[in-house]
Amino acid sequence: MRECTRYPADIITEVSICEGESYTWALDNNVYNTAGSFVLAGANACEASQVLELAFFEKTADEEIEINICPGESYDWQGQSYSSADTYVNVIQDANGCDYESKLILNVSDN
């Protein structure tokens, strides 16, 4: 039986995903939806263990603004011009690629 003279270092995979998502680790095909360290031990002392370090990006808070305009006016918001009373919602990606909602509540006054 062969003995190892040097034990290999763990192979670490660091992954960060958006809050509320899950991650399927290709090494074991398991789906992970909680942050933490997960280990697949090497088959023997000469084989490195695989370690998954899973973290979640903090969710960007949804944003909401309410605007009042007069009849005949418009309001420019996120590259679009709006003139009708309504609630408009855009889904935006933050710097980490995670989605959040941006909401405009547009009121057109009667005066």
Tens digit of pLDDT for each residue in 31-75?
999 999 999 998 887 889 999 999 999 999 999 999 999 999 999
pLDDT at 111: 67
How far, in Å, CA of 79 to CA of 90, rounded? 11
Asked whether residue 98 carries a pLDDT value surpassing 80, the answer given is yes
Residue range 71-97, pLDDT digits in tens: 999 999 999 999 999 999 999 999 999
pTM above 0.75, yes or no: no
Both tokens of 73, joined, read 């006016």
pLDDT at 75: 97
Asked whether residue 3 carries a pLDDT value surpassing 80, the answer given is no
> Once rounded to an integer, what is the mean pLDDT over residues 19-24?
95
How many residues comprise the chain? Answer: 111
Tell me how far CA of residue 61 lies from CA of 1, 94, 101, 104, in angstroms.
Answer: 58, 10, 8, 15
